[in-house]
Each structure stands twice: as structure tokens, then as C-alpha cells.
């Protein structure tokens, strides 16, 4: 799912293409994408686009007259821009926003969803109070004070991974950037907010700000050069997210992964858990007391299993 840096990159890329121009029309190409009925979608046609905002993980097209088109990309939703007359993305198209900018300023913003599970959605709302109703309530991590961020994360005694990715606590952080934040802070994803000391809180807040700020700057700079062609949670420059089995760029230990409830946590046992392997819920139920406690023990188990397979052959 696109997270704060990705969404900010979209916002940077969309502004020069949309702001000040008129929304000529919205074409729905999937029966699942529109999730509101009043006001009708036709009410948006012909209105000037005044600005592009972000509301948590939602992109908001602010139209004249306090009308708002809200788009949630969910997991597989993406935007593509085509100049007037350009060919659309084809079967993955969910909706098309036709923009009239006069001559070369005209074009179409395509909402695509390359998934059989149709989760991306569009809502049309009128007035700021109605827009606020769509806000999950999490504080904006780069626009809040340390005290506000700490208060939000510490509202409940939860694991750091869950606290960072709860949109009711902090806005627009998901699996990818929470992994990177916790790696930079040298904290276990399963440490609990209620157990952090002052040094750990300072490390967490500093890592949260620096990680998001650096990635926002990097992706926004790319978006100025070209419209984001590939928005992904797996980037080669990341330290641990999507790097299962690769060496940690800081200490060299192999990055480990825990998969749970449709989510995953990637971490470095050398930097974040004092060398301890965190138990994967499914595998630990299977292995019980045989779950390896360290990377060395894990490698020994792998070698023994491989040798057993070879002998069986």
C-alpha cells in the first residue's frame, strides 16, 4: 500500500498537471470503485481543481465550491498520467479523470488497480466537515511535535510495529516504512510502547522523522522529473524491508522476517533484537520449544535439514 513518501510524491507530481485546470469529467471503468452516491459524481464535472491534498493515506482533489474527490489507493491502486489523446492503461483501469487545461495542458489521470480484489475507492464529499469524517485521526508524523507523536504512539501499550502502522495513531505509515524506522532506531518491532525508556523514545522519534523526511525528499525529487511510474514498497535502497536473507547494511547479520495476519515485519537480529530471532507465530506453534533462538542456530538447523534431505536421496 502506498505510504506517506509515495503519496507525497504523487501529490508533487499531480499539482502541476491538475491545479488550476478543470475536471472535465470522471469515467468509472470498474463497478466497485465509487463508494458514495451523494453528491452525485456529475457534480464534480466542470469544476476547477484548486489544490491536491493528502488525508492520511487518501489523496484529495480539492474542487472549487468545497467539493472534494477523495481517492484511497488501498493496496494495489495506482495513478497514471496520460497527455490528451494518449492511450489508457487497459484492463487494469478503474477510473479516468479527464482534465481540461487547454491544448497541451489537457490530459487524463487514470486510476488503476492490478488486483482481483477490488479495494481502491473514490468518494465525493461536500464541505470540510464531511471530509474530516474520512480522517482516521492519526497525527501527521512530519507536522507534529515530539510530544504529540509520543502521546499518540503511547496511547495504548502496543508493539512498536502495530503502533506505527495504526492509522488512528499516526498517519500514513505502513509495513515498509515502519520496518525502516525501527531498523534505524535499533528497536525490535515487537518491543512495547509501554516499556521504552527515554533514550529509546528519543531514538524512535528521531528515526521516524529522519526516515520519512529522507524518503519524501528522494521520491518528491524524482516526481518533479517524471510522473511516478512505479510506486512500490520494495526499493533497493531500503535497509531491511523486502530484504529477507540479505545482509544488514549496518552489521552484516541476515535480515529476518515474520509473517502474521496478512502483514510482515522485517528486522535485523544483530541490530534490533540483541541477536535473538523473533518467533514466527505459525512456525513457532509448529516447532514449539525447537524454535531456534539465534541466527547461528537457525543456520545449523538449515544445514542439518539439507543434509537429511541429501541422505534421503
For 70-109, write each residue's pLDDT tens digit: 999 999 999 999 998 889 999 999 999 999 987 778 999 9
Total number of domains constituting the chain: 3
Residues 16 and 77 grouped into a single domain: yes
Burial 264-302 (b: 16+ CB within 10 A, else e): bbbbbbbbbbeeebbebeeeeeeeeeebbeebeebeeee
Residues 290 and 202 grouped into a single domain: no
Residues 200 and 279 grouped into a single domain: no
Residues near 209 by Cβ (< 8 Å), separated by ≥ 6?
141, 142
Alpha carbon distance 164, 105 (integer Å): 40
Q: Provide the whole-model pTM.
A: 0.90
Residues 107 and 20 grouped into a single domain: yes
Inter-axis angle of helices 198-225 and 4-18, nearest 10: 30
More confident residue, 304 or 146: 146
Residues near 203 by Cβ (< 8 Å), separated by ≥ 6?
185, 186, 187
- 141 found inside a domain: no
Domain boundary among 106, 132, 158: 132
pLDDT of amino acid 20: 96
Residues 271 and 167 grouped into a single domain: no
Query: For residue 193, which of 218, 171, 160 has the smallest C-alpha distance?
Result: 160
What separation in angstroms does the CA of 308 have from each of 16, 287, 302? 61, 17, 10
Beta carbons of 152 and 76 less than 8 angstroms apart: no
What is the residue range of 186's domain? Answer: 146-225
- 33 found inside a domain: yes
Query: For residue 39, which of 137, 141, 122 has the smallest C-alpha distance?
Result: 122
- 83 found inside a domain: yes
- 243 found inside a domain: no
pLDDT, average across residues 106-128: 96
We report the CATH number of the domain holding residue 211 as 1.10.8.50
pLDDT of amino acid 288: 45
The angle subtended at Cα 243 by Cα 272 and Cα 247, nearest 5°, is: 65
Helix (H) or strand (E) holding 220: helix 198-225
Beta carbons of 232 and 177 less than 8 angstroms apart: no
- 247 found inside a domain: no
More confident residue, 274 or 305: 274
Alpha carbon distance 102, 22 (integer Å): 9
pLDDT of amino acid 71: 98
Residues 210 and 268 grouped into a single domain: no
Residues 9 and 87 grouped into a single domain: yes
Q: What is the mean pLDDT of the chain?
A: 91
Residues 11 and 111 grouped into a single domain: yes
Residues 296 and 264 grouped into a single domain: yes
We report the CATH number of the domain holding residue 85 as 3.20.190.10
- 237 found inside a domain: no
pLDDT of amino acid 292: 58
The string of pLDDT tens digits covering residues 226-243 is 999 889 999 999 999 999
Alpha carbon distance 81, 227 (integer Å): 7
Residues 121 and 161 grouped into a single domain: no
- 14 found inside a domain: yes
Domain boundary among 225, 247, 271: 225
pLDDT of amino acid 133: 98
- 137 found inside a domain: no
Residues 157 and 106 grouped into a single domain: no
Domain boundary among 204, 225, 246: 225
Residues 306 and 276 grouped into a single domain: yes
Report whether pLDDT(283) > 50. Answer: no
Q: How far apart are the first and last CA of the chain?
A: 43
Amino acid at each position: 500500500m502506498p505510504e506517506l513518501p509515495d503519496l507525497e510524491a504523487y501529490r508533487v507530481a499531480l499539482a502541476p498537471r491538475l491545479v488550476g485546470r478543470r475536471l472535465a469529467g470522471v469515467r468509472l471503468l470498474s463497478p466497485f470503485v465509487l463508494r458514495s452516491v451523494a453528491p452525485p459524481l456529475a457534480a464534480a464535472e466542470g469544476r476547477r481543481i484548486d489544490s491536491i491534498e493528502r488525508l492520511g493515506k487518501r489523496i484529495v482533489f480539492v474542487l472549487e465550491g468545497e467539493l472534494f474527490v477523495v481517492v484511497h489507493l488501498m493496496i494495489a491502486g495506482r495513478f497514471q498520467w496520460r497527455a490528451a489523446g494518449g492511450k489508457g492503461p487497459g484492463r487494469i483501469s478503474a477510473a479516468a479523470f479527464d482534465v481540461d487545461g487547454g491544448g497541451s495542458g489537457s490530459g487524463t489521470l487514470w486510476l488503476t488497480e492490478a488486483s482481483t480484489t477490488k479495494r481502491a475507492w473514490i468518494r465525493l464529499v461536500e464541505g470540510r466537515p464531511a471530509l474530516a469524517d474520512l480522517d482516521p485521526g492519526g497525527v501527521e508524523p512530519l507536522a507534529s511535535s515530539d510530544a504529540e507523536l509520543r502521546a499518540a504512539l503511547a496511547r495504548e501499550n502496543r508493539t512498536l510495529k502495530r503502533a506505527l502502522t495504526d492509522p488512528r495513531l499516526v498517519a500514513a505509515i505502513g509495513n515498509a516504512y515502519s520496518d525502516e524506522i525501527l531498523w534505524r532506531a535499533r528497536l525490535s518491532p515487537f518491543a512495547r510502547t509501554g516499556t521504552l525508556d527515554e533514550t529509546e523514545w528519543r531514538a524512535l522519534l528521531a528515526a521516524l522523522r529522519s526516515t520519512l523526511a529522507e524518503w519524501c525528499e528522494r521520491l518528491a525529487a524524482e516526481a518533479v522529473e517524471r510522473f511516478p511510474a512505479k510506486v512500490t514498497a520494495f526499493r533497493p535502497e531500503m535497509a531491511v524491508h523486502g530484504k529477507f536473507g540479505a545482509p544488514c547494511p549496518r552489521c552484516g547479520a541476515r535480515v529476518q522476517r515474520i509473517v502474521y495476519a496478512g502483514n510482515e515485519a522485517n528486522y535485523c537480529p544483530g541490530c534490533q533484537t540483541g541477536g535473538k530471532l523473533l518467533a514466527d507465530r505459525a512456525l513457532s506453534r509448529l516447532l514449539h520449544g525447537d524454535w531456534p533462538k539465534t541466527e547461528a542456530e537457525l543456520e545449523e538447523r538449515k544445514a542439518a535439514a539439507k543434509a537429511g534431505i541429501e541422505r534421503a536421496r
